[in-house]
Amino acid sequence: GLALVATVWRLHRLYPEVRWDWSRIDLSELSFPDGFLWGAATAAHQVEGGNTNNNWSRWELSTDESGKPRIHNGQRSGSACEHYTRYPKDIERMRDELGLGSYRFSLEWSRIEPEEGRFDLDAIQHYSDVIDEVIAAGITPMVTLHHFTHPLWFEDKGSFEKEENLHYFVRFSERMFSEYGERVKLWCTHNEPGPFATMGWGMGVFPPGVRSPKRLGLVLTNLMRSHCRVYAALKAMPGGENAQIGLVKNIFQFDPWRRWNPAHWALTRSLEEVYNNSILRLFRGEPFTIRVPGLMNVREEIPGAELDFIGLNYYSHLLLSPLMPTTPPFKVLARP
């Protein structure tokens, strides 16, 4: 008992809960450097409309074990914002109404390679036209190669759960760089590998709907392997030395809901290791490591762990309890 109290006390000291009081933070001297790019980002499936051949389009049509739709009220992305056809006007508004200096968008792999090994030239031309339109508007394009969606044929092979599938993603990435590398200098391999793996293979609320810590760890490892292989492949291509290649990582600030409760601390530290530290350590030159006693034990030297930047997505400060619901709708704990 005394050892447990001492451990909790030590955790209190090591990980104080940061509280941001913006009324006391002086923003009067805040400035951004010359060349800073104010931009926005989209994911193809969320905005394009008409995406019917990827893992999320199937997920929207499926039901869970109880027969309920996977998406609330059975909603579908459907025609979305029709960005696939309206992109010239959308980009014009980015320039004139939003004043953006950069636009990050994803290439919909399922449009470009709808069947294994068959690349659709019309789809390739479409994204080429988008890039030209962005550049003509004086906006810097940034391409995301994988933003949660991939073709059904890749999904049916086990997608990123199987290491032998990674060469398909490398091949796709090389083809995209050969098409657009002269005009696009900013590339993201994966958008948010943590949520992609955790929600899809840990909590089972993203496709493919798996709840297995062991398989989650395998997917996260393969995402890191695939990033490293794509990074090396693109850097070796003509123009690769002039490209900036990274990945987009979202960071959650995790804290225990009850700071006196050892179970809340255990959950907090475990998620911090899986979600944040495992990926960040890899790019500091350390082995890729995920250790959650009894659930995950991954330690691997992944060669070529390099990036030119890391994209930071920050959403919220999460307070954790083992009694939190693990199926939607999620109820977020909060303090006044």
* Cα distances (angstroms) measured from residue 9 to each of 6, 187, 256, 261, 269: 5, 44, 13, 11, 14
Give the burial class of 282: count Cβ atoms within 10 A of its Cβ; 0-12 exposed, 13-18 middle, 19 or more buried.
buried
The reported pLDDT for the residue numbered 20 is 80
Q: Mapping DSSP to helix (H, G, I), strand (E, B) and coil, where does residue 40 land?
A: strand
The reported pLDDT for the residue numbered 19 is 80
Q: Is the pLDDT of residue 329 over 80?
A: no
The reported pLDDT for the residue numbered 286 is 94
Q: Which long-range contacts (CB under 8 A, 24 or more apart) does 215-221 make?
A: 215/161, 216/274, 216/296, 217/274, 217/290, 217/296, 217/297, 217/298, 218/161, 219/160, 219/161, 220/193, 220/194, 220/274, 220/278, 220/279, 220/290, 220/298, 221/288, 221/290, 221/298, 221/300, 221/302
**Mean pLDDT score of the chain, rounded to an integer?**
94
The reported pLDDT for the residue numbered 334 is 85
> What single letter denotes the amino acid at residue 257?
W
Give 292-317 pLDDT, tens digit per residue: 888 889 999 999 999 999 998 988 88
Residue 2 pLDDT level (bands cut at 50, 70, 90): confident
The reported pLDDT for the residue numbered 89 is 98
User: Are residues 313 and 248 in contact, defined by beta-carbon separation less than 8 angstroms?
Assistant: yes
Q: Is the pLDDT of residue 83 over 80?
A: yes
Mean pLDDT of 266-278: 91
Q: How many CB atoms lie within 10 A of CB 3?
A: 7
In this structure, what are the phi and psi dihedrals at residue 252, rounded to the nearest 5 degrees?
Answer: -105, 135
Mean pLDDT of 223-244: 97
The reported pLDDT for the residue numbered 236 is 98
**Lowest model confidence (mean pLDDT) among 80-94, 153-167, 249-263:** 249-263
Q: What is the pTM of this model?
A: 0.94
Running DSSP on this structure, what letter comes out for residue 161? G
Residue 5 pLDDT level (bands cut at 50, 70, 90): confident
Rg (CA), the chain: 21
The reported pLDDT for the residue numbered 90 is 98
The reported pLDDT for the residue numbered 331 is 81
The reported pLDDT for the residue numbered 289 is 93
Q: Mapping DSSP to helix (H, G, I), strand (E, B) and coil, where does residue 322 land?
A: coil
Q: How far is CA 96 from the centre of its chain?
A: 29
Give 118-140 pLDDT, tens digit per residue: 999 999 999 999 999 999 999 99
**Lowest model confidence (mean pLDDT) among 7-21, 57-71, 214-228, 293-307:** 7-21
Residue 336 pLDDT level (bands cut at 50, 70, 90): confident
